[in-house]
Amino acid sequence: MPEYVILNLPSANRVYAASSPALLRAELAAFGAGLDADVTAIEEIELGGVGYVKFTSTEPLGERDLTLLSNLSSLYALFELTGDLLRPVPVHPLAAADSDLLTIQKYPGKTNEQFTKLLLNLTLLATAHPADWPNRPLHVLDPLCGRGTTLNQAMMYGFDATGLDVDGRDFEAYEQFVKTWLRTKRVKHTAESGQLRRNKVRLGRRLDVEYAFGKDDYKAGRTRKLSYLNADTLTTDEVLRPSSVDLVVTDAPYGVQHGSHREADLARSPRDLLAAAVPVWTRVLRPGGALGISWNTHVLPRADLVTILERAGLEVRSGGPYDDFAHRVDQAIVRDLVVASKPG
């Protein structure tokens, strides 16, 4: 059976780099849900003093499988292993834009862009059609979007994206960043800012961008949409239509930060915030869609979050690789993730 090795993508974050091989092993195992070939014997090895993640395939990787695997969050290069020799295997990750869309922004508390891609990937794999996403545009919602790392990764994949966040400074910082980036890259676009209202009640501010990375696509109306709503996350089902998004992907508050001003008792409790918000987010999720959340296990046990998701009618992925994504961020944060699907 063919054997392959993956060279990990370098990371400037040393803590994440140390966790990356283990996370890649679990992500690769989860990708098995969408592959034609069976991937087995996933392990870390060292060749010539360099670490790799090795796996065995029941058959040579075909074009369809390579299309999926090219998007592994920490994949830097893929090789077929023949004895002691490495044969490069061409990979073509989805990248509608230059990578600086993900890397330019630097600020305290930014979610690592490789982890954001990992979380988005796993959520895509939990949908009703886990192998089809590279070939069709989807709509991604991050209801606690901060300064937009998830929105930017959705743009990289050629998806539509909507974000909500109650923090006005984050909204202003992202608005300035994305407008400047689009102008600098000479991307054809329109960008409109204004008030967000519902039934004549002001809920906050909004930014709406319509763009295309190719001039011909823009002229032909083949555009993508990006929206940032500076509003309480508990208003998600008021500002978005029911069953209007394919994916909900978010990095939940790690501590006393919060995404809601509507209920005062939510301000210091990630558990209470998620208990109130998950049913709201689920209402705008399409049947067959999926939700992915990462969070700090020090402030919310996994079992409690699973209960919240199941009470909202979602089917949680568990066992196998889904139990292997916990990793340390710093002394106060051990981050884990959970993905769940909405029955079709």
The residue among 234, 312, 314 whose CA lies nearest residue 273 is 234
Would you say residue 326 lies in a domain?
yes
Q: Are both 129 and 222 inside the same structural domain?
A: yes
Chain-centroid distance, C-alpha 9: 17
Give the pLDDT score at 256. Answer: 44
Residue 200's pLDDT is what?
A: 80
The pLDDT value given to residue 337: 98
Are 266 and 212 within one domain? yes
Statement to judge: residues 119 and 203 lie in one domain: yes
Domain boundary among 89, 113, 131: 89
Q: Which amino acid does the sequence have at 12?
A: A
**Does 261 reside within a domain?**
yes
Do 68 and 145 lie in a common domain?
no
Same domain? For 11 and 118 the reply is: no
Q: Look at residue 223 and give its three-state secondary structure.
A: coil
Examine residue 179 and state whether it is found in any structural domain, yes or no. Answer: yes
Residue 255 has pLDDT above 70, yes or no: no
Domain that holds residue 43: 3-89
Give the torsion sign (CA, 96, 99, 105, 107): positive
* Residue 95 falls inside a structural domain: no
Inside any domain, residue 94: no
Are 224 and 334 within one domain?
yes
238 and 112 in a single domain? The answer is yes
| Angstrom distance (rounded) from CA 93 to CA 73 | 10
**Residue where a domain stops, chosen among 27, 59, 89:** 89
Q: List pLDDT tens digits, range 91-128.
A: 999 999 999 999 999 888 888 999 999 999 999 999 99
Same domain, 67 and 108: no
| Total domains, the chain | 2
For the stretch 142-169, pLDDT in tens is 999 999 999 999 999 999 999 999 999 9
Residue 264 belongs to domain with CATH number:
3.40.50.150
In the predicted model, is pLDDT for residue 319 greater than 70?
Answer: yes
Q: In this structure, is residue 281 part of a structural domain?
A: yes
